[in-house]
Amino acid sequence: MEVSPLIDQEVVARTLGVALSTGADFAEVFVEDKRSSSAHFDDGRVEELGSGRDRGAGIRVVAGETTGFAHTADLSERGLAAAAEAAAAAARAGGATVRTVVVDPVETRPQPVEIRPESVAKGDKVELLRRAEAAARSRGGAITQVSATYGDSRRRILVANSDGLWATDDQTRTLFVVGVVASGDSGMQTGRRAIGHTMGFELFDHHQVEDLAVEAADQALTKLRARPAPSGQLPVVIGRGGGGVLFHEACGHGLEADHVHKDVSVFARRVGEQVASPLVTLVDDSTVAHEWGSFAIDDEGTAAQRNVLIEDGVLTDYIWDRLRADAVGHRLSGNGRRQSYRDLPMVRMTNTYLVNGTGSADDIVADTPEGVYVAQLGGGQVNTATGDFVFGMTEAYLIEDGKITEPLRQGNLIGNGPKVLELIDAVADDFEFGPPGTCGKDGQGVPVGDGVPTLRVSSLTVGGTAA
């Protein structure tokens, strides 16, 4: 795969030579060519129809513990050389030296695409939005507002470095989101559903936008009759798929090697220790076919991998980028990610999930005399140094006498990530990935996936508004 006809191996090799000319230890060229399109539909009108292209290169130079970085949209050899000189100057290690770099292409296998989104007419994309709105409004007059968004992107990257690496990837992602507002005597309530996969327009051969819209509308309608959530310490059952963000935020960030290195993680220096219930095995895996956080290589050129972080409750490893791994002699885990060529890579999750247990989802609910069933978690806040978190419950229900009963609203889950891991006392065998996500860290956002089977936390603080 050619990222750009302006970039060839000889030019990249000479650019790396310039980057190393001041005596640096390591140099890297990252080239990105990204095209995207989107359409937004709100209450029967196309509000936005856009497309864009972003292309350029970022050059990183490492000398000792100093990193120099420069980026440019000029992909000519002169432009690349100027960026390499700037990065080298920032990381200057001493006397000038000359190093010749021979780059050796490696074979990669991008996620397969059947229908390139750029080959699909804009009118066909807009028609998906119209169909979704019609389906949502078919649920009745209480549906007062419907919005839908379509998006796709194709991101082609090249990573070459002074170790001789030359690796490429071609990443296509397609997304569809429906948001619904329902109005009634209790005010307004919202519903939302999203699908997104690392694949092309064939996404809509596997998922019907009408089904998505109906689910969003029904969620909003159900919340119109919801009662305020209770308050206090209660057992909480988290439904399959919908609670993965809890583990991404409350546990996953604490397992990123940069947080561990800075000693701002509750999991620092705990490899080999029991940190969770024996029912918990937590994985970060960028090889999952078509999942939102999947790829062939990370943004440092490392092949996608499946990394077991917690196994049977025991902390087995962290996730790593090149700088953190090289500093301690650890293997690369394929978690060096960046938002664009303008950014330095950092340690990031990909698809983070809890693996299946052996229980039954129905039995878990039946064995819970009272509590809260969370079908979908919303956004929240997490302190990685302590593990303390607060998450909103987007869709939740009361559990009474072992049965899911009334819908709830206006509630949060409040707890501590490591403590939650210890208090998981049941895990079902019905694993599912949740909706696509964007993980923000230090001003950069990257696509991520998460998922869980149905599970129960024996005690969590529910912050509701019920008297």
SS3 state at 352:
strand
Match 């000038």 to its residue by tokens.
Answer: 96
In contact, 315 and 309? CB cutoff 8 Å? yes
Torsion of Cα atoms, 116 then 120 then 125 then 128, to 10°: -80
Q: What are the CA-CA distances from residue 96 to residues 11, 132, 305, 458 (Å)?
A: 21, 62, 38, 62
What does the pLDDT read at residue 43?
Answer: 86
Domain boundary assignment for the chain: 232-463
Cα torsion through 431, 433, 434, 438, rounded to 10: 150
Token pair in block for residue 387: 């593990």
Residue 117 φ/ψ, nearest 5 degrees: -60, -30
Q: What is the pLDDT of residue 95?
A: 44
pLDDT number for residue 3:
45
The strand pairing partners of 433, in sequence order, are 451
Q: pLDDT value at position 467?
A: 54
Q: Exposure pattern of 151-190 as b/e (b: 16+ CB <10 Å)?
A: bbbbbbbbbbbbeebbbbbbbbbbbbbbbbbbeeeeeebe
The number of residues in the chain equals: 467
Question: What pLDDT, on the 0 to 100 scale, is given for residue 99?
Answer: 43
C-alpha of 408 from chain center: 27
Residue 451: closest CA among 466, 465, 437: 437
> Can you read off the two tokens belonging to residue 275?
């940190």
Q: What residues contact 45, with CB distance under 8 A and at least 6 apart? A: none
pLDDT value, residue 384: 81
Closest by alpha carbon to 333, among 383, 361, 298, 292?
A: 298
Segments of the chain with pLDDT less than 50: 1-4, 6, 94-102
* Crossing angle of helices 77-90 and 9-19, rounded to 10°: 30
d(C-alpha 176, C-alpha 199), whole Å: 12
Res 378: pLDDT = 86
Helix (H, G, I), strand (E, B) or coil at 240: coil
pTM of the model: 0.93
